[in-house]
């Protein structure tokens, strides 16, 4: 992706903490997700591999994402 990602959640009853970290574990983006459908724009980040972490009281999701420009 060039840095814009759609996030679609099936569980809309929880608020999710969203973190994007680089391969060194540095937090590059932090936000809260409260909607079923959200768009995050990471095009200000350099190219590379990142990990998108979504966490709620009931759920933890980690996805690997690539930013290529």
Instruction: Say yes or no to pLDDT of 54 above 80.
Output: yes
Q: What is the mean pLDDT of residues 37-42?
A: 95
Instruction: Say yes or no to pLDDT of 12 above 80.
Output: no
Q: What is the pLDDT of residue 42?
A: 96
pTM above 0.85, yes or no: yes
**Cα 48–64–24 angle (5° rounding)?**
55
């Amino acid at each position: 992706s060039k840095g814009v990602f759609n996030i679609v959640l099936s569980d809309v009853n929880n608020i999710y903490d969203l973190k994007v970290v680089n391969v060194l574990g540095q937090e590059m983006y932090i936000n809260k997700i409260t909607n079923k459908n959200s768009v995050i724009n990471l095009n200000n980040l350099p190219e590379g591999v990142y990990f998108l972490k979504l966490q709620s009281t009931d759920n933890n999701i980690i996805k690997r994402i690539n930013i290529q420009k």
